[in-house]
Every structure is written in structure tokens, then in C-alpha cells.
Amino acid sequence: MDPSTEPSQCDSSADPSLPTYKQVITDHPSAKKAVKSAKLKKPRAAPKSKSKSKKKNKNISPSLDIASGDDEDNAVKKVIVTTNFKLFVLDVDRSKKAKKVWLLISPPNPIKIEITISPKDKVTTHDQFISLVTSKCENAVANTGAILSDGLSSGSPVINWFVSIARVEGFKKGKPFLLENQMAFNTWMEALADNEADESTLSIEMTNPNQVAKLQHDAEVLAKDAVRKEAKRLITVAREAKRARAGDSEGGKRKRLDEDSDEDTEGSDDEVEYDKDAVKLFMRQLYATHSANALYDRHLPVYINPLNHSQYFLLSNGTCQKWARALVKVREGVSIQSPPKEFKYETLPPANSIPTSTKQLARTSTPAGCAHHACSGHASHASPPSSSDGPQPGKDVGIRDYINFIGLRQADEVVDLLIRNDLQNFKIFRSRNLDRSALRSLGLTLGVVTQLCDYVSKFERHLAKQDLLASN
């Protein structure tokens, strides 16, 4: 019921049978708003006390902020390094002499390694990082830790450690950063701290041995090609010199010489084309560069020290092979004009000093002094020095002289082994009673045994030449 029409209960004079009404006038809505606003204005004084409390709190807050800042500086910051590795191991069972099979070794899943980048007194050091990585890799794949340690200590095999940090210049994944030393490691750790990185990656990679072998093969092919071209050039120069010397002779003779030289050139080109042995190629170039000189030896090519012409050594088959092998291996300081350092020089006796004029050199180079005998009728002639390659005439021939003549690689070891077994005379290797299998049982290879038995006749001919030179 509406309050404005509510029956009145307080008028006693009114007829109770008739309904009576009492009108109640309510306040205007604006009056209510005023009351409400008045009621709301009173509590406004209360926030003043809150503001005072806030001011008090403001006076206290700086000390709290300083304390929180100190906590942040001393907080331990960790970084997760996701690690993978690629190592190559030789499969001995599947490998053959001509081709080696390498197995790729990698962890089944990426390895998670945790390191500390702050505070400074707790930062992971370089040695701790290396030890941590090797131990984690060893746990992931057995026997890989030793490979990593060997690569770090000796540099063989070559193993590279690459790190990367996402969205950091200089450490992006496309161009990873190489941890090659302590300084590089410190640079990486500083980058992690400066960029507040939470994670990084480490990739440990070994160079594929097949790729290394390919690069080495390519280098050998290029070296052989250079030798072929140089040999062809030397042949052309020799042919032109031969034609020049024959220029004053008869036309038919010159024509015959040209034809012979052309045939020699074609044969030489064929030999160069089909000869694939690098050692033989270098030996051919050595013999073409260092020819024989009768002042030093009448039969063998000779290398003369360019700084002292009194010093020389003969290019025997064994010596030339050693020099050629050094060239194939690309040893430092060894070239066609520069022999290996271990080669020993012989010195000319004072009586056989180097001639100062071309006429004297031509007279000295005349075989057996025939030119001098034809002019003066005397039988005297220049006697060349005895060869330094092999034993001197009139002296006992030892097994070491025979081994040096053959030109074995490990000559000292072979000589010691033969002396221990009383094989000190080279002629014993020609005996029919000598069992080659017994020689191999001493530890000699098949190639060494074959050369010991096959070079006896060659060595005897060499000694005969030495005796002939001494008797002249």
C-alpha cells in the first residue's frame, strides 16, 4: 500500500466505518542527494590520517629499497648452456688400407649444463667449465671425455668449441663465437652477464677426417700438376739448348737431332702424363735440376752448397728418395733448391779446389784425361775425388754402408737389428741358405727384406766403380 494513502489511526472523532486517509509528503529527491552528499563529506577528514601514515612510510621505504638492491647484486645468476657435440672415431673393423671409415658420435639428446655468471666471486671459471663439459659429455656418451681432453691438451684431433647467444650481436647462431682460449671464454661470460641472458648454446665440433683427407689429396694433385708442368718446361729448355748447340752443324745432322729431341719430348710427355707417383715425379725434377759434375763425381748427380761450393753431397737413389718424400710431405724449408736439414755435406780435398776458369773446368771434366793425353802425350790426368756415397776404397765395408746405399727410411733401427743378429756382411743376403721368412720374423717388413736381398749386386757394382776411380 502506498504510504500516502495509509489509513490514519490517530483521529478518534472520525467515523470508523468510513476509511480515512492521511497524506504524507515525502522529501524531494534533491533533498536526499543533499543528505547523501552531506553524509559523504564527513568521512573525507579520515584520509588525512592515512596520508600521514603514507608520509611516515615514505620516510622508511628508502632503506628497504637499498636492502632489496643489495640482495639483487648478491643474487646468484645461473645460465643454462645447451650442449651438443660431433666427434669422429675410426671404425677399425670396417676400414680398409685404401679407405678409412669414420663413425659420427653424438649424444642422443642435448646436454643441459648450468653455469654461474654472477656474482663475481661465484662465477664459473674457464677450468671449471672445461671440467664440467667433459664430465657431462662422458656421462652422456661413454669414452668421449678422453677425446675432448686430448683435443684440448695436444690439439690432435682438432676440436672447435662454438657458443652462441640468441639476439646478441657477435654471438648469433648463424655466426657462432669460437672459444679458443681463456680470453674468448671471458668475453662470452661478460656478454651473458651484460645481456642478462638465461640460456646459451655450445656446439663441440671435430673436423671430418674425410674432408681433411680430401684437402690433402687436392694439395697433392696440385703439387703433381706443378711438377709435370715444370718437368715439361725443363724438357723444352733442354731441347732448345740442344738445338742451339747443333746450330752450326750440317742440316741433315741438325734435322736428325731435332727428330730425336722431338721423340724424346713425346716420350717424356707420355711418362709425365702416366706417372702418378709423386715421389718419382719429384725425383725426376731433382735429377733434372741437379745434374752430374765430374769435379765431384763422374757418375752420380750432385747437389752443391750454393753458399760454399766446396761442400756437396751425391744424389744417390736413396738420397734422392728421401728428398722427394720430404717434398711430398711439404716439410717446412724443403724445396727443389733446398734439401732437408739432416743431409750431411762432404767437403772437397784442398788439392781438388774448384776451377776458376771455364777452360780449366772443361779440362777437368774430360773423361780419363784423354784430351790432355792427346795434346802432350802424357798419361797424367785429373783425378776426381772419391764418391761420398758409399764406403771409401781400401776400407772394410760395413752393413751400415750397405743400408745407406739402399736408402731405407729407418736406417738406424734396421742396422741395429741386423748387428744384434750378427748380420754384418752385406754378401750374406745373397746366400741361398738365407731364409727370407726368418728375416721377416726378426721384425723386418717384406719391403725391407726384398731390398736387402736384391741390392747386393748393385752395391758390388758401386764398389767396383769406387775402386776404379781410386786406381785411376
Confidence at residue 137, expressed as pLDDT on a 0 to 100 scale: 93
Confidence at residue 411, expressed as pLDDT on a 0 to 100 scale: 85
Q: How many CB atoms lie within 10 A of CB 378?
A: 9
Q: What DSSP string runs through 353-402?
A: PPPSSHHHHHHHTSGGGHHHHHHH-------PPPPSSSPPTTSPPPHHHH
Q: Which of 167-181, 252-266, 281-295 has the lowest mean pLDDT?
A: 252-266
Interval 301-314 mean pLDDT? 88
pTM: 0.40
Domain ranges of the chain: 1-74, 76-207, 215-276, 278-384, 399-471
Interval 91-105 mean pLDDT? 80
In this structure, which amino acid lies at residue 144?
Answer: T
Confidence at residue 75, expressed as pLDDT on a 0 to 100 scale: 82
Give 309's pLDDT tier (boundaries 50, 70, 90): confident
- Percent pLDDT > 70 in the chain is 65
Dump strand ranges (E) for 106-256: 111-118, 159-164, 177-178, 199-206
Q: In what order do the strands lie in the sheet with 346-347?
A: 292-293, 297-304, 311-314, 346-347
Instruction: Give the CA dihedral 283, 287, 288, 294, nearest 10 degrees.
Output: 180
What is the C-alpha separation between 83 and 176, in angstroms, rounded?
A: 13
Confidence at residue 31, expressed as pLDDT on a 0 to 100 scale: 54
Confidence at residue 128, expressed as pLDDT on a 0 to 100 scale: 92
Confidence at residue 79, expressed as pLDDT on a 0 to 100 scale: 94
The per-residue pLDDT for range 350-398, each reduced to its tens digit, is 654 444 433 343 343 333 333 333 333 333 333 333 334 444 433 467 8
Across the chain, what does the average pLDDT equal?
73
Q: What DSSP string runs through 6-61?
A: PBPSS-SSS-TTS--B---PPPPHHHHHHHHHHHHHGGGGHHHHHHHHHHHHHHHH
Give 458's pLDDT tier (boundaries 50, 70, 90): confident
The three three-digit cell numbers of residue 373, written as one number: 793425353
Confidence at residue 131, expressed as pLDDT on a 0 to 100 scale: 92
What is the C-alpha separation between 458 and 408, in angstroms, rounded?
A: 15
Confidence at residue 307, expressed as pLDDT on a 0 to 100 scale: 82
Higher model confidence: residue 18 or residue 419? 419
Higher model confidence: residue 198 or residue 377? 198
Confidence at residue 362, expressed as pLDDT on a 0 to 100 scale: 37
Confidence at residue 199, expressed as pLDDT on a 0 to 100 scale: 92
Taking alpha carbons only, the member of 148, 33, 14, 158 closest to residue 84 is 148
The per-residue pLDDT for range 141-165, each reduced to its tens digit, is 998 988 888 888 877 778 999 999 9
Interval 331-340 mean pLDDT? 84
Pick from 168-182, 231-245, 275-289, 385-399 the range whose average pLDDT is largest: 168-182
